[in-house]
């Protein structure tokens, strides 16, 4: 599939590892040159080296997305050295697992500053260069937690991701006339080294039973959705989001699969008995 990404300049925040790294490598594989942003410069440099190994240009920039000044300077550096930004992927984020009654205001603010504030700062910073370049793509990494309750997300994380989805829709409306597409990708639980390290034994296998496709996301699954939204194949898609969740949002009222099947098998037996009378 021709994506039209050859020679495009992409900026991926939080791309030193995990989902962000997978997105950066997937964009590079399609021909994009990729700016690797992370607060950990060593991680960013590692991803940048892998991008160069694919045969594309890459630069690693340490910048805190919560700082409007640092983000502005990052975009100015990319524009000065490479000419501008065609693609922005707002991936940087932090997690939280506290109950509201146990949560300090500072913890609430920390999550919002990175997820919502960072998305705002980076999006605002690239608008000018995208307008000058005749268009662009902005993809925000949301979450299933932003559209439904999950047992894994805290209230501040869920609220922040919901805010990102609202921001996505509104910004898409504002930037549509300039041929700038703005969309989101909503992952469910994604298997990363960090998740494997912190998950109790057997938890992830049990989680699979709640997912219609009976599997968990890999970072590459998220990356594939992002690449599509950044491609010319998605030129008429804006202001929407793609759920990459194995179908978990199809779950109805917390009914598990065994109960779902048993109820319908019982209904089939009752219908058969009725027809035999």
For the chain, which residues make up each domain, given as ranges? 9-252
Report how far residue 94's alpha carbon sits from residue 143's, in angstroms, rounded to the nearest whole number. 12
If phi > 0 it is left, if psi is from -120 to 50 it is alpha, else beta; for residue 214 that is left
Mean pLDDT over 74-85 rounds to 99
* Structure confidence at residue 259 as a pLDDT band (50, 70, 90): low
Mean of pLDDT values over 254-264: 64
* pLDDT tens per residue across span 93-129: 998 888 999 999 999 999 999 999 999 999 999 999 9
Q: Left if phi > 0, otherwise alpha if psi is -120 to 50, otherwise beta: which for 202?
A: left
Enzyme catalytic residues: 157
Q: Which of 75, 180, 169 is nearest to 137 (CA)?
A: 180
Query: Is residue 258 over pLDDT 90?
Result: no
**Locate tokens 């609202």: which residue?**
166
pLDDT of residue 269: 78
Q: Is the pLDDT of residue 255 over 60?
A: no
Distance separating the N- and C-terminal Cα atoms of the chain = 57
Per the CB < 8 A criterion, the answer to whether 23 and 15 are in contact is yes
Q: Looking at per-residue confidence, does 78 or 273 come out higher?
A: 78
Q: Does domain 9-252 have CATH number 3.40.470.10?
A: no
Task: Evaluate whether 60 touches 15 at the Cβ level (below 8 Å).
Answer: no
Q: State the pLDDT at residue 198.
A: 67
Give the dihedral sign, CA 27/31/32/38: positive
Residue 27 has pLDDT above 90, yes or no: yes
- The pLDDT, as a whole number, for residue 202 is 87
pLDDT in tens, 196-234: 876 788 888 988 988 999 999 999 999 999 999 999 999
């Amino acid at each position: 599939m021709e994506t039209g990404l050859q020679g495009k300049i992409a900026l991926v925040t939080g791309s030193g590892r995990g989902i962000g790294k997978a997105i950066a490598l997937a964009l590079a594989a399609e021909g994009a040159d990729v700016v690797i942003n992370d607060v950990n410069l060593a991680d960013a440099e590692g991803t940048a080296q892998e991008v160069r190994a694919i045969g594309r240009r890459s630069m690693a920039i340490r910048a805190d997305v919560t700082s409007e000044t640092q983000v502005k300077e990052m975009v100015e550096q990319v524009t000065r050295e490479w000419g501008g930004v065609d693609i922005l992927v707002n991936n940087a984020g932090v997690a939280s697992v506290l109950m509201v009654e146990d949560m300090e205001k500072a913890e609430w603010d920390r999550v919002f500053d990175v997820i919502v504030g960072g998305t705002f700062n980076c999006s605002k910073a690239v608008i000018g260069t995208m307008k000058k370049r005749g268009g662009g793509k902005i993809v925000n990494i949301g979450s299933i937690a932003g559209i439904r309750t999950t047992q894994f997300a805290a209230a501040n994380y869920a609220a922040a991701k919901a805010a990102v989805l609202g921001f996505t829709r509104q910004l898409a409306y504002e930037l549509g006339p300039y041929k700038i597409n703005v969309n989101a990708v909503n992952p469910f639980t994604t298997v990363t080294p960090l998740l494997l390290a912190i998950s109790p034994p057997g938890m992830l296998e049990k989680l699979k039973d709640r997912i219609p496709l009976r599997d968990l996301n890999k970072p590459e699954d998220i990356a594939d959705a992002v690449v599509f939204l950044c491609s010319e194949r998605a030129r008429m898609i804006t202001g929407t989001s793609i759920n990459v969740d194995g179908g978990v949002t199809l779950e109805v009222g917390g009914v598990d699969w065994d109960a779902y099947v048993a109820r319908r098998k019982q209904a089939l037996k009752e219908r058969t008995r009725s027809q035999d009378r």
